[in-house]
Chain A
Amino acid sequence: MPSAEDKQQQWSRFFARVQNLLQRGPRSLRKLSGSELTRLIDDYQALTADLARARSLGAPRSTVDQLNRSAVAGHNLLYGSIRRPAVLAESDWFGGFARAVRRHLWAVALSALMFFGSAVATFFAVQFYPALGYDLVADGFLDFDPASAENLHHIPSLARPIASSGIITNNIQVTLMAFGFGLTAGVGTTVLLIFNGVHLGSVAGWMMLHGKEKALWGWIMPHGATELLAICLAGAAGYLLAAAIVAPGRLRRSTALKKIGGDALIIELGCMVMLVIAGLIEGFVSPSGIDYPTRLAVLAASLTLWAVYFAGAGHRGKKASSFPEP
Chain B
Amino acid sequence: MEETVSIATPDNVTLEFELAGPGSRFAAYLIDGLLIGLLIIVVVVALIFTPGVVNFFRATFDEGPGWLMSWNIALLIFFIFLINWGYYVLFEGLRRGSTPGKRKMGIRVLRRDGLPIGFREAALRNLVRAADMLPPPCALLGGLVALFDREGRRLGDMVAGTIVVVEKFAAASDSAAAAAWAARVEQGRSRQALTLPQGIISANQIALIEQFMGRRHALPPARREALAWQIAEPLLSLLGEDREALVKSPDRLGRSERLLLQILDLARGERAKPEPALKQESRPALF
Q: Which residues of A contact B (CB under 8 A)?
A: 1-5, 7-8, 11-12, 15, 22, 45, 48-57, 59-60, 62-63, 65-66, 68-69, 71-72, 75-76, 79-80, 83-89, 158-162, 164-166, 168-169, 172-173, 176-177, 179-184, 188, 241, 253-254, 257-258, 261-262, 264-265, 268-269, 326
The interface residues of chain A lying within 8 Å CB-to-CB of B131 are 180-184, 188
CB distance from A167 to the nearest CB of B (A): 10
A4 touches B182 (CB 8 A): yes
Q: What are 5 residue pairs bridging A and B, where the CB atoms are less than 8 Å apart in the complex?
A: A7-B182, A52-B13, A59-B185, A63-B185, A181-B134
Q: B109-158: which residues lie under 8 A (CB-CB) from chain A?
A: 111, 113-116, 118-120, 123-124, 127-132, 134, 141, 153, 155, 158
Query: Taking the nearest CB of chain A, how far is it from the CB of B245, in angstroms?
Result: 38
Q: Judging by beta carbons under 8 Å apart, are A75 and B185 in contact?
A: no
Which residues of B are in contact with A by a Cβ distance under 8 Å? 9, 11, 13-17, 66-67, 70-71, 73-75, 77-78, 80-81, 85, 96, 111, 113-116, 118-120, 123-124, 127-132, 134, 141, 153, 155, 158-161, 168, 172-174, 177-190, 277, 281
Residue pair A257, B178 in contact (C-beta under 8 Å): no
- In contact, B13 and A85 (Cβ under 8 angstroms): no
Q: From A51, A83, A257, give the contact of B159 (CB < 8 A).
A: A257
Of chain B, the residue at the smallest CB distance from A54 is B185
Do A50 and B173 touch across chains, with their CB atoms under 8 A apart?
Answer: no
Report the Cα distance A3→B284, complex, angstroms.
14
With known contacts A75-B114, A86-B120, A326-B113, A258–B160 Cβ distance under 8 A: yes
Of the candidates A11, A79, A158, A161, the one whose C-beta lies within 8 Å of that of B182 is A11
User: What DSSP secondary structure best describes chain B's contact surface?
Assistant: helix
Whether B185 pairs with A265 at a CB distance below 8 angstroms is: no
**Are A173 and B183 interface neighbours, CB within 8 A?**
no
Q: Which residues of A contact B184 (CB under 8 A)?
A: 57, 59
Residues of A contacting B11 in the complex (Cβ-Cβ under 8 angstroms): 45, 48
What A residues does B158 contact at CB under 8 A? 253-254, 257-258
A183 touches B179 (CB 8 A): no
Chain B hits for A49, CB < 8 A: 189
Q: Are B141 and A184 in contact (CB under 8 A)?
A: yes
Asked if residues B120 and A268 are in contact (CB atoms below 8 Å), the reply is no
**Given known A-B contacts A8-B182, A49-B189, A66-B172, A80 and B116 have beta carbons under 8 A apart:** yes
